[in-house]
Amino acid sequence: MLIKRPQNIVVVGGNAAGAAAAAKAKRNSPSSNVILYERSKFISTGTCELPYLISGEIKDYKDIVFFSADSFKEEKQVEVFVEHSVESIDRRSKKIAVKNVISGHIYYQDYDKLILTTGSSAINHPDLLEPSQNLFHLKSVPDYIKIDNYLKSNKCKDVLIIGGGYIGLETTESFHKSGFNVTILERDSLPLGNSEIEIKNRIKETLEKKNIRFYGNSDRLKVFKEGNYIKKIVANGIIFEPDMVIVSIGFKPRTQIGQAAMLNIGKYNGFKTDSFLKTNDPNILSAGDNSEVTNFITKKNDYIPLATIAHSMGHIAGDNASGAFNKFLPVIKNIAVKLFDNCYSQVGLTHKEATEHRFNFEVITAEVPNLVKVMSNTKPTFGKILYEKNSKQILGASFFGQQEAIGNADIIATLIQNKITGSTLYNANYNYSPPCSPFINLLSVLGRKINKD
Ligand SMILES: Cc1cc2nc3c(=O)[nH]c(=O)nc-3n(C[C@H](O)[C@H](O)[C@H](O)COP(=O)(O)OP(=O)(O)OC[C@H]3O[C@@H](n4cnc5c(N)ncnc54)[C@H](O)[C@@H]3O)c2cc1C
């Protein structure tokens, strides 16, 4: 079959999804002009690595800028325009308005296929809407550069993190490792909003052990400023006088230009696409943090802003914009977080989500040593699995321990994806080596409990 290749494929946004989409489209269709517009100075950055710049585990932000506009063009044959913002889409004439953010000049670019990979933006705290010189987000390389410049030119000791989700926790650890006094203010009573109670308590204990102050139920903040500087924040009558405030309360999909062009938006305000990642305009696709996905377990639309998902969606959008017909399959949420000496992972649904989606499910938990007991570096490892009562299909799991917590979540994701029941975990052939793995694996213990039910 002869595939008709589009002449101009234009990608808006050049991070995880956009860089993948542009590279894939050009690889698939070398005769097309593939053009990438990015509003900031940087394309193809390692956003997930940002906290580790603060801790010094990654030395220089340039190490997480994987391509410059020039190197991307040279290696991928994609025309890249950084510091160019796409302002609007005219679907009838198939043109976009592009603004050079330095000169302010606006011009128009034709497209045959348009891929929107505009990502997400950090949510502002309602009590901290006004910009202040010591108020920051950590969402992008430019955000990191602002934080770094501020730290270099001001004496800072006390850092207040607003939000105890996984990114707030990673940021907390990084500042703590760099010698700052860190305090977290969180709206809920415990950290890691949506996760299991056993995990939240373990995370709170970890923070306490490191002398990190955690204040739950702190949703209303009274902010006192001196000019452009946050001097004092009062939450629940407690006074905080931070040198620096980092707001980390989540992301929202960035869809404004698509909404203005009447593209469909879903329940979570992300672009709603079909399984080929086409919006309601067949010439416009979307991918990454600006888009909703189908959740493999609930079969419903969901919003899961993760780099792994953004990258895969970008590939498929690039493929399909250049003439292929590849489906983006429903996804299983699978996240991993390292917090000081522990790792946490969560895969599939949490107890709260399984309840909200009205599954009829059972819960089992276990805590066992992660190595054979006699090894001096043995640590406890905790696991919790939720499974459907009748079918014994796993709905979700959480682990808290050492590195094995991360691998366990990947095993569970594979089971869920292949519809293999939780009982199978009991009979699996686990390896054993005293310095690496336990004689009786946590997953086997959990599988035995599912079998007994
Ligand atoms: C601190 C931190 C840690 C994280 N850790 C992890 C992790 O460990 N694992 C994981 O899987 N995920 C992690 N994530 C999430 C992950 O970074 C995002 O899911 C991923 O960056 C999404 O990529 P994206 O390309 O869809 O969107 P974005 O990264 O938001 O990029 C969108 C790009 O589009 C540009 N843009 C927007 N509008 C326009 C316009 N109109 N014109 C031109 N350009 C435009 C923006 O400037 C931006 O560069 C983390 C995120 C943060 C902030």
Give the position, in ligand 1's atom list, of the atom nearest the Cα of 17: 25
pLDDT in tens, 23-36: 999 999 999 999 99
Nearest to 249, CA basis, from 358, 161, 342, 173: 161
Buried b (16+ CB within 10 A) or exposed e, 89-111: beeeebbbebbeeeeeeeeebeb
Spatial neighbors of 446 by CB under 8 A, at least 6 apart, are 364, 365, 366, 383, 385, 422, 425
Nearest to 387, CA basis, from 433, 437, 348, 341: 348
Task: Please name the residue ranges forming H helices in 113-194.
Answer: 141-153, 166-177
- How far apart are the C-alpha atoms of 354 and 357, rounded to whole Å? 5
Confidence check: pLDDT of 108 > 80: yes
Confidence check: pLDDT of 196 > 90: yes
Q: Which CATH superfamily is domain 334-452 in?
A: FAD/NAD(P)-binding domain (3.50.50.60)
Confidence check: pLDDT of 8 > 60: yes
- Counting ligand 1 atoms within 8 A of each CB, the residue from 55, 106, 118, 309 with the most, and so the one to mutate, is 118
pLDDT in tens, 361-373: 999 999 999 999 9
Give the position, in ligand 1's atom list, of the atom nearest the Cα of 42: 49
- How far apart are the C-alpha atoms of 373 and 438, rounded to whole Å? 8
pLDDT in tens, 375-429: 999 999 999 999 999 999 999 999 999 999 999 999 999 999 999 999 999 989 9
- How far apart are the C-alpha atoms of 169 and 210, rounded to whole Å? 12
What pLDDT is stored for residue 452 in this prediction? 82
- Counting ligand 1 atoms within 8 A of each CB, the residue from 11, 47, 87, 315 with the most, and so the one to mutate, is 47
Confidence check: pLDDT of 326 > 80: yes
Q: Which CATH architecture has domain 124-247?
A: 3-Layer(bba) Sandwich (3.50)
196 Rama sector, left if φ>0, alpha if ψ -120 to 50, beta otherwise: beta
Residues with a CB atom less than 6 Å from ligand 1: 12-18, 37-40, 47-48, 50-51, 85-86, 117-120, 138-139, 167, 254, 257, 288-289, 305-308, 310
Going from N- to C-terminal start, the domains of the chain cover 8-120+251-321, 124-247, 334-452
Output DSSP code: residue 329: P
* Same-fold call for 8-120+251-321 versus 124-247: yes
pLDDT in tens, 230-249: 999 999 999 999 999 999 99
Q: What percent of the chain has pLDDT over 90?
A: 97
Confidence check: pLDDT of 453 > 80: no
Let me know: does 349 contact 298? Beta carbons within 8 Å: yes
Q: Which CATH architecture has domain 8-120+251-321?
A: 3-Layer(bba) Sandwich (3.50)
Confidence check: pLDDT of 6 > 90: no
